[in-house]
A and B are shown apart, each in its own frame.
Chain A
Amino acid sequence: MGRIRLTLCVDDSHADDLGDIAGAARRAGMTVEQELSGIGVLTGSIDADNLDALRAIAGVTSVEQERDVTLPPPGSPVQ
């Protein structure tokens, strides 16, 4: 299975331990790109095979595959 980009969030009781959770996520195989402590979110990528290990980390409440957003071209009448 390929590598997927993802975001994950931690519950409020672990919000102050985001660095610890990022460490655990790395040990589970995640490449952590951003630790967004203000909103309790990590972003990065991982092999799809390791997703369950990520979900098993204490304090991780949700793991989601990253979405893309796209605007219409500048000349479009509806933006």
Chain B
Amino acid sequence: MARKSRKRPAKKQAALETLSVSPPEQPQAGGSAPATAPGTTGRFLVLFDRSAAPQAPNTLRRVANLSLASAADFEDGIVEPEGLGGADAVMLPDLAIAIASAPPEQTHALGVASDTGILAIEPERVVYTSGQGWPLNTGPAASADDMAPLDYLRGYRDAVNEVYDRLTGQHDAEAELGAEAVTAFDEADATWGLQATRVVSSQHSGRGIRVAVLDTGVDSGHPDFAGRAVTGASFVQGESVQDGHGHGTHCIGTACGPERPGILPRYGVAHEADIFAGKVLSNRGSGTDGGILAGIQWGVSNKCAIISMSLGAPVQVGQSFSQVYEHAARRALMQGSLIIAAAGNDSRRPARVAPVSHPANCPSVMAVAAIDERFAVARFSNGGLNPQGGQVDIAGPGVDVRSSWPRPTLYNTISGTSMATPHVAGIAALYAQADSTFRGRVLMSMLTQYARRLRAPARDVGAGLVQAL
């Protein structure tokens, strides 16, 4: 296979810019040195769609005239970092990625050709092990790749500042709760919670996903739910699913409320999800394990991908989780239903932090803490004090949350981990819609993986603030 000449310095510069690679800072000897951006190797990674991967060798040859080796040709599939065995590119078939060592204009040809199945082309980066330190380039020409050490140093600076503030008595409670310098939210069109979780810009609606909310029922005659599929069931003796409390209608509004409510702002996440309202708490707000477990079974048997439970009972420090609920939650996960539950409101921060409540403290139940619009932990939100499942998994907006309320009130703004939980549940429905493999434990791990990390400690907010997909 013929290899193309690599000495085209004049064109190289333009092609590099097209690929959004910073021009090299270092002087070039005679204009023939490889034009390599700082922190990159000069090679390119070409990511193929899986379905196009079998055709990748032909594509690379046809479009960019690149000769190709396959990782399968190398001993044990190990590709030496130094060379590509004489070829221009090597294919990593399991990853559907080609590493190309070719002039940028050749690689660029791949980017502009159509029907290649190429998803992305990016420069290969130099990666350092943590023991070697970073190439500290903090001048004005520092590229995005150089910012990692700055982030690290900023964290170090913040920690030192906090120690200083504590020693000099300047420490304030807001900072301890993790408040961040967040721009104030304008709630004219959407609640702060939908903005902070990026729901407003999501392409997903929860369409086709069943969301069970086990609570005090729902006011199914609320005008914001007109035309929606609402399946109801009551597990409270002598009471219909009609919500005589308000809590259930508020939670369902957050998880599944409409895209365009009768009165703005928008407050609902999964506006096209199928609503399953299970009444397990009475109009007086009380319920029992028996009713809740019956509601879980109902959600599982109706193939609800998400079961949201803004309820719980306090536990003591050192108390272990319920084996019965853990067992039930594990079986629910195996059948594709993820239970998301409120961490509880028993803390009085900063003086007292209470442990995550039952049943959110089960390892197979996702526990949700509440944050406010400055991303600080809510003063009432319980923390991960107990081991083995007693931790907080994720946080949601839970202070000053506007949502639907039974007629004639229509809307109410309240706070609680009960309000944070349906934010996570609704967003989980967006994930479930986006990919049919996002179910059960996979769904739980996707939610935490994509959560926005916060200044507040993991004990209080878990992986961070849930983010829409």
Residues of A bordering B, CB below 8 Å = 5, 7-9, 12, 15, 33-34, 36-41, 43-44, 61-62, 64, 66-74, 76-79
Cβ-defined partner of B288 (8 Å) among A67, A71, A77, A78: A67
Question: How far is B285's CA from A11's CA once the two chains are assembled, in angstroms?
Answer: 32
Judge whether A73 and B285 touch: CB under 8 Å.
yes
How distant is A64 from chain B, measured CB to nearest CB, in Å? Answer: 5
Judge whether A78 and B345 touch: CB under 8 Å.
yes
Q: Which residues of A contact B281 (CB under 8 A)?
A: 69, 71
Instruction: Check if B43 is an interface residue, CB within 8 A of chain A.
Output: no
Task: Specify which of A37, A44, A78 lies most central, judged by the most chain B CB atoms within 10 Å of its CB.
Answer: A78
Question: How far is B331's CA from A64's CA once the two chains are assembled, in angstroms?
Answer: 18
| Stretch from B54-62, B136-144, B413-421, B447-455 forming part of the interface with A | B413-421
Judge whether B288 and A39 touch: CB under 8 Å.
no
Judge whether A69 and B323 touch: CB under 8 Å.
no
Judge whether B216 and A61 touch: CB under 8 Å.
no
How distant is B42 from chain A, measured CB to nearest CB, in Å? Answer: 54
Q: Which residues of B contact A41 (CB under 8 A)?
A: 293, 297, 324, 327-328
Judge whether A69 and B297 touch: CB under 8 Å.
no
Cβ-defined partner of A69 (8 Å) among B311, B327, B332, B414: B311
Judge whether B247 and A7 touch: CB under 8 Å.
no
Judge whether A62 and B324 touch: CB under 8 Å.
yes
Judge whether A66 and B297 touch: CB under 8 Å.
no
Cβ-defined partner of A36 (8 Å) among B246, B288, B297, B416: B297
Q: Which residues of A contact B311 (CB under 8 A)?
A: 69, 71
Judge whether B345 and A43 touch: CB under 8 Å.
no
Q: Which residues of B contact A68 (CB under 8 A)?
A: 286-288, 313
Cβ-defined partner of A9 (8 Å) among B245, B290, B300, B328: B328
Q: Which residues of B contact A34 (CB under 8 A)?
A: 290, 293-294
Q: Which chain B residues numbered 257 to 291 have a C-beta less than 8 Å away from chain A?
A: 281, 285-290
Instruction: Check if B22 is an interface residue, CB within 8 A of chain A.
Output: no
Q: Which residues of B contact A36 (CB under 8 A)?
A: 293-294, 296-297, 328
Instruction: Check if B312 is an interface residue, CB within 8 A of chain A.
Output: yes
Cβ-defined partner of B332 (8 Å) among A15, A39, A62, A72: A39
Give 1 or 0 for each of B319-330: 1 = CB within 8 Å of chain A CB. 000111001100
State the interface size on chain B (CB cutoff 8 A). 39
Instruction: Check if B41 is an interface residue, CB within 8 A of chain A.
Output: no
Decide: A62 near B312, CB < 8 A? Known: A7-B290, A38-B301, A79-B247: no
Judge whether B300 and A78 touch: CB under 8 Å.
no
- Quick one: closest B residue to A66, CB to CB? B289
Task: Specify which of A37, A41, A71 lies most central, judged by the most chain B CB atoms within 10 Å of its CB.
Answer: A71
Decide: A64 near B322, CB < 8 A? Known: A69-B281, A79-B247, A79-B416: yes
Judge whether B288 and A79 touch: CB under 8 Å.
no
Question: How far is B284's CA from A71's CA once the two chains are assembled, in angstroms?
Answer: 8
Complex A-B, nearest 8 residue pairs according to Cβ-Cβ distance, in ascending order = A71-B285, A62-B323, A79-B416, A39-B328, A43-B290, A9-B327, A36-B297, A74-B246
Judge whether B297 and A39 touch: CB under 8 Å.
yes
- Quick one: closest A residue to B293, CB to CB? A41
Instruction: Check if B402 is an interface residue, CB within 8 A of chain A.
Output: no
Instruction: Check if B431 is an interface residue, CB within 8 A of chain A.
Output: no
Judge whether A33 and B290 touch: CB under 8 Å.
yes
Instruction: Check if B335 is an interface residue, CB within 8 A of chain A.
Output: yes
Question: How far is B344's CA from A64's CA once the two chains are assembled, in angstroms?
Answer: 21
Judge whether A7 and B293 touch: CB under 8 Å.
yes
How distant is B227 from chain A, measured CB to nearest CB, in Å? Answer: 26
- Quick one: closest B residue to A73, CB to CB? B285
Q: Which residues of B contact A38 (CB under 8 A)?
A: 297, 300-301, 331-332, 335
Judge whether A39 and B296 touch: CB under 8 Å.
yes
Judge whether A62 and B327 touch: CB under 8 Å.
yes
Cβ-defined partner of A78 (8 Å) among B250, B327, B380: B380
Question: How far is B331's CA from A37's CA once the two chains are assembled, in angstroms?
Answer: 10
Q: Which residues of A contact B324 (CB under 8 A)?
A: 7-9, 41, 62, 64
Instruction: Check if B423 is an interface residue, CB within 8 A of chain A.
Output: no
A-B contact pairs, 23 of them (CB 8 A): A5-B290, A8-B324, A33-B290, A34-B294, A38-B331, A38-B332, A41-B328, A67-B358, A69-B281, A69-B286, A69-B288, A69-B289, A69-B311, A71-B216, A71-B286, A71-B418, A74-B245, A74-B247, A76-B414, A77-B414, A78-B345, A79-B345, A79-B415
